[in-house]
Amino acid sequence: MSVTDLEVFMLRAHIAGEGEEAQRAFSRQAATSDDMSGLAWLVHAAFVIAARRQFAPTWNKGQVIRYVGQVRALLSERPGLLDPRVAEDELASALGGQAPASHEIGAVATARLFLLDTLIASLDLDDDGINALLSEARKAADQMLAR
C-alpha cells in the first residue's frame, strides 16, 4: 500500500485553504475506499518534517509550549478547537521527545493539521516549498505503510 495521488491532493488542498475542494476529494476517496491510512501517514510525516525544520537541531519544552500557545491565540474565537496538551505532546513527539500519552485520535488529527498549517506559515513555504515538503512526506509515509 502507498499514499495515493488523491491523498496528496487532499492535503495540498487543505494546506492551500481550499477546504471545499479537500472535502470533495475526501468524499471521493471515502466512496472508493474505506482505508484512509495513506492520508493519515502523509499528514503525520508532513507534520514531523515541518516541525523538525522549524525547531531542529535543538528545542526545549518551553519552545513547544510557547508555540502551541501562539497557535491557540490564532484560534481565540474557537478556543476548544485545539487541545493544548494534545498539541504539545504531538509536537514534542515529532521532535523526538517522549511519546505522548494516549489521546483521542480525532484530537490528535486536529492538532497535527492545525500545527502543520502554522508550521508551513512559520517556515514561509511557497508553492515549491510545499510541493517539496509533500514529496518528502509522501516518501516517508510510503516507507511507513510498507512495513
What DSSP line would sit under 84-105, residue for residue? HHHHHHHHHHHTT-PPPPP--H
Tell me the pTM: 0.89
For the chain, give every domain's residue range.
5-146
Query: Could you read off the pLDDT tens digit of each residue along the chain, which spans 147 residues?
Result: 889 888 999 899 989 888 777 777 777 766 666 566 888 999 999 999 999 999 988 899 999 999 999 999 998 888 788 999 999 999 999 999 887 678 999 999 999 999 999 999 999 999 999 999 999 999 999 999 888
